[in-house]
Structure 1
Amino acid sequence: MLKKSNVCEEAPVELLVNREKLVTFMCSPYDLEDLALGHLYTRGIIKEKNELESVAACKDAKLIATYTSNEVKDDLFTIPKVVLSGCGNGALFDEKIMEKEKIEYLEQISLERIKKVAREMLENAIMYKNSGGMHCAAIGNIKEEIVVREDIGRHNAVDKVIGAALNKEFDLKNSVITTTGRLSLDMVLKAVATKIPVVATISIPSSLAIELAEKLGVCLIGRIGKNEPIIYTYKERIK
């Protein structure tokens, strides 16, 4: 049985893209390569995994250095940004959000499959079991393969697991993602960026997340750990 340390590790980690600082993560300094890949992908800085030519992370230096095959727009570097481990660091809402391509998904996914991903997520949440106070996220593909990642920040945990799934070449368009964190607008945008059709949480979504999910084609499920989870949008995708 693990002994809880009652301390969650948190550190500022800078992400450099082509030698320019993009963002500082306030994060758990583990799985940093996955964090970088997932963050760059969900922000649209890279469209494919192979556009990230190299990534090198150093926990001690609190640095992730990446190089992309394409130039990054200058406006991404105009204002230093910090991704906090808590709330208040989400995406800015503007009319461009509604211009994103809607997810079209005509298949059905069993609720039991989604609940299984959530169970395995919690079973493999080692840092949570060790210290508490952490978030975790999981992605399960159609082959029933699952990857799990943890972080002190819910956004970081999701970026990490997306990066891990990309590295394992998951078919994200036929995958589901589960998380322990509240589903806010920017969490829905991460799903839209990856074309993942179903997002479930142990917690609940915000009203704006539900509105955005309805417009952009994301099935949102809350209280996935309960006997009767709440399906907020696109109920027809769940069997």
Structure 2
Amino acid sequence: MTYSVQTAREILRFRNGVEETMMDTVATEIPITVKMNGEEVVTMISSPDYIEDMVVGYLISEGLVSSVNNIEQIRYEAPRGFVHLTVNQSINPLHQQLQTKRYLTSCCGMSRQSFIFASDAKTTKTMHTRSVTITPEQCLMLMQELQETANTFKETGGVHNAALATQEGIVLMRMDIGRHNALDKIYGYCLRNQISLDDKVLLFSGRLSSEIVLKVAKIGCEMILSKSAPTNRALEIAEELQITTVGFIRQQSMNVYTMQERIKRS
């Protein structure tokens, strides 16, 4: 069985006091269970595309697999919703338990102590380099391109969009019902196809929460652009990990919150 990312459904709509029966389009979600070396690791809820990329991105960004080179085989069993991986490393049961627990730590050399997931401390990267710079005009152009090409969102209104881009335009775009899934799909594709992130920026349709900024740090991008708002905790983490965050990119306006030196002004 194969799934479409969107599903047609008959609905009853009320508008201006008038009711009508019509067809509507909704986003599809399916459960995906990941098994490594025959052992069940996690079940994820996802849009039904780019599943193998998402799983690779998730496992490596969360530290459950140390490198894409450790994955010997991956197979998506679509009818049953299983992804089977053969990896040449042991699965640390303690690491799996720590994923669901928070502890007090100083993450990646952070100056303040923060409650974060244990796996975050192992996999986040501080962006010491300054290999990416971008103009305000390029930020506006990239966000417009993201919105114009977000076809599933236009049809359903029920997915998040993420993209990898250079200053010139989008090079890779993914969507998912889950915010993290969309980013994991991008990361997994880059890992499996040896695409460098050094000169790239991430685009995102949703809110810049602390978990999203941590995901950006795990992926290893210096900059994330969003049409939505950040949270204060996300900005604190971005400052400590030296990630440039730009939010509220709408029409001809945008806010640069952290690491402003990567934004080129005339």
What CA distance in whole angstroms lies between the structure 1 residues aligned with 2:209 and 2:234? 5
Q: Which has the larger radius of gyration?
A: 2
CA distance in 2: counterparts of 1:178 and 1:35, whole angstroms: 17
Say which is worse superposed, 199-208 or 220-229, in terms of deviation: 220-229
Counterpart in 2 of 1:17?
36
Q: Tell me the residue number matched to 1:177.
A: 202
Shift, 1:193, TM fit: 1.4
Aligned to 2:85: 66
Q: Measure how far apart 1:183 and its partner are.
A: 1.4
Matched, 1:204 2:214: no
In structure 2, list runs of 5 or more residues that go unmatched.
1-7, 9-22, 110-123
Indicate how the Cα distance of structure 1 residues 43 and 124 shifts in structure 2: closer, same or farther if over 3 A, else same: same
Distance 1:168 1:5 in 2: 37
What residue identity is the alignment partner of 2:126? K
Q: Please, which of 26, 29, 50 is the counterpart of residue 48 of structure 2?
A: 29
Does structure 1 residue 103 correspond to structure 2 residue 111? Answer: no
Q: Which has the higher contact order (CA 8 A, sep 6+)?
A: 1
2:82 paired with 1:57: no
Asked if structure 2 preserves the Cα contact closer than 8 Å seen for 1:139 and 1:165, the reply is no
Identity of aligned residues (%): 28
Aligned residue number for residue 86 of structure 1: none
Kindly state the Cα deviation for residue 98 of structure 1 after the two structures are TM-superposed. Answer: 4.4
Counterpart position of 1:154? 179
Corresponding residue for residue 154 of structure 2: 129
- Partner SS state of residue 210, structure 1: helix
Structure 1 Cα separation of the partners of residues 144 and 88 of structure 2: 38
The secondary structure found in structure 1 opposite 2:250 is: coil
Q: How many residues align?
A: 229
Distance 2:218 2:99 in 1: 23
Q: Residue 129 of structure 1: CA displacement? A: 2.3
Q: Of residues 115, 121, 135 in structure 1, which corresponds to 2:140?
A: 115
Q: Is the 8 A contact 2:209 2:231 kept in 1?
A: yes
Aligned-CA RMSD value: 2.6
Gaps of 5+ in 1: 82-90
1 or 2, which has the higher strand percentage? 2
Question: Does the CA contact (< 8 Å) of 1:220 and 1:232 recur in 2?
Answer: yes
Whether the aligned pair in 2 keeps the contact of 1:204 and 1:223 (CA below 8 Å) is yes
Find the aligned partners of 1:75 and 1:96 in 2 and give their Cα distance.
20
Once the two structures are superposed, residues 164-207 of structure 1 have per-residue CA deviations (whole angstroms, 9 ceiling, x without a partner) of 23334321122110111111112111111122000111111111
The ranges of structure 1 where at least 4 consecutive aligned residues each deviate by more than 6 angstroms after the TM superposition are none
For the Cα contact (< 8 Å) 1:15–1:23, is it kept in 2?
yes
